[in-house]
Amino acid sequence: MIIAYTPTSTGFARSEVPAGGTIPLTAVWIDLFNPTHEEQLAAEHLMGAEIPTREEIASIETSERLYDEPGAIVMTALLPMAARMPDPKMSSVTFVLSAKRLVTVRYGEPQSIINCSRRVQSDSTIPRNGPGILFVMLDIIIDRCADVLEEASDAFDKLSSRVFEEGLSSRQADTYRAAIRTQGRIGLQVARMHDVCASLIRLFLFLSSRATRVNLTEDQVASCKTFGRDIQSIKEHADALDTKLAFLLDATVGLVNLEQNQIIKIFSVVAVIFMPPTLIASVYGMNFAAMPELQWAYGYPYSLGLMLVSVALTFLYFRLKKLL
């Protein structure tokens, strides 16, 4: 699918180019969503630069993600498609930028692209060229990254309060498992956003080094540096949150282990308390003919009394030692 954005008095008009149709020559932003080979060739003809295929976009080498084309530069970055979901997915989006136009190639639906589409259709102050559209999109992407990490940080704070103040009980297995799952989801979210930030940092460095090639204004160059600092601070925040998550996971497992150890300790103490009466019962359960208390009328209550006294003395000993 080809979605073309042409300038109007109130912003940009969005139009879907039908299969086999011609892309408007006045289009400033050409959004290729799951493009066919013919659609990609049509965009290449209008752009005057080769657009990478899906296999080339999937390459992990930096040289394959950021490079020059005649009259344009090609940049590929990772964007979260659904960063707020339990298992956030990512999509590679390629930006083919010239001084006049911007082409985006995507095979997913990042929320940032959707938000950018809405904004350019209603904002008449956006410059009518490719860099103008790109910088609006980058601003939206950074804001979204910050919002996602802020939500992850809030979820971490709530979980920390639950673990350290309310506490977790190993006897409530569902609560314990839910806490571990929540920490795993937050950690996965942070890891995804860390990858997004790392790819954007490389993109900003490459874009600022090609400022004259795509005719960036001084304000855009300054914005590019500002974006780089912003995304670096977001990445540092993600690193710190990842470290705190590791600590929280260790603390959660440690607290549950302490409770389990306390239960095992109680069983151990109870077993020791009942060892003396067990010994007494074993002695008086011997089948020897010559036993002094065998014919004694008070032998049975005497043995029971010894058992009770041994239990009481052992219990008092553990209480004095603060083992119970």
Query: How many angstroms separate the CA atoms of 140 and 112, rounded?
Result: 6
pLDDT of residue 50: 84
Residue 289 has pLDDT above 80, yes or no: no
Select from 167, 232, 150 the least CA-distant residue to 198.
Answer: 232
Per CATH, the homologous superfamily of domain 2-259 is CorA soluble domain-like (3.30.460.20)
Residue 315 has pLDDT above 60, yes or no: yes
Dump pLDDT digits (tens) for 16-33: 888 878 888 888 899 998
Q: Which helix (H) or strand (E) holds 94?
A: strand 90-97
User: In the Cβ-directed half-sphere of 229, how many Cα atoms lie within 13 Å?
Assistant: 5
Query: How many angstroms separate the CA atoms of 138 and 221, rounded?
Result: 13
Average pLDDT, the chain: 82
Q: Beta strands 29-33 and 102-106: pairing type?
A: parallel
Residue 59 has pLDDT above 70, yes or no: no
Q: How confident is the model at residue 40 (pLDDT cuts 50, 70, 90)?
A: confident
Mean pLDDT of all residues in 210-219: 87
Q: What tokens does 24 get?
A: 């408007």
- Check if the beta carbon of residue 201 is closer than 8 Å to that of residue 65: no
Residue 195 has pLDDT above 70, yes or no: yes
Select from 150, 133, 33 the least CA-distant residue to 83.
Answer: 150
User: Which residue in the block uniquely carries the two structure tokens 């219990």?
Assistant: 315
Query: Which of 83-97, 177-191, 221-235 is least confident?
Result: 83-97
Query: Which residue would you say has higher pLDDT here, 60 or 64?
Result: 64
pLDDT of residue 60: 59
pLDDT of residue 254: 76
Query: How many angstroms separate the CA atoms of 196 and 93, rounded?
Result: 11
Residue 287 has pLDDT above 80, yes or no: no
User: Which residue in the block uniquely carries the two structure tokens 């180019």?
Assistant: 17
For the beta carbon of residue 162, count every other beta carbon within 10 angstroms: 16
pLDDT of residue 164: 72
Dump pLDDT digits (tens) for 61-102: 666 788 888 888 888 888 876 545 554 555 788 899 988 889
Residue 315: phi and psi, rounded to 5, are -65, -45
Query: How many angstroms separate the CA atoms of 91 and 57, rounded?
Result: 10
Residue 215 has pLDDT above 80, yes or no: yes
Mean pLDDT of all residues in 224-247: 87
pLDDT of residue 107: 83
Query: How many angstroms separate the CA atoms of 25 and 6, rounded?
Result: 9
- Check if the beta carbon of residue 231 is closer than 8 Å to that of residue 201: yes
Mean pLDDT of all residues in 114-137: 88
pLDDT of residue 49: 83
Where does the chain hold its CATH 3.30.460.20 domain(s)?
2-259
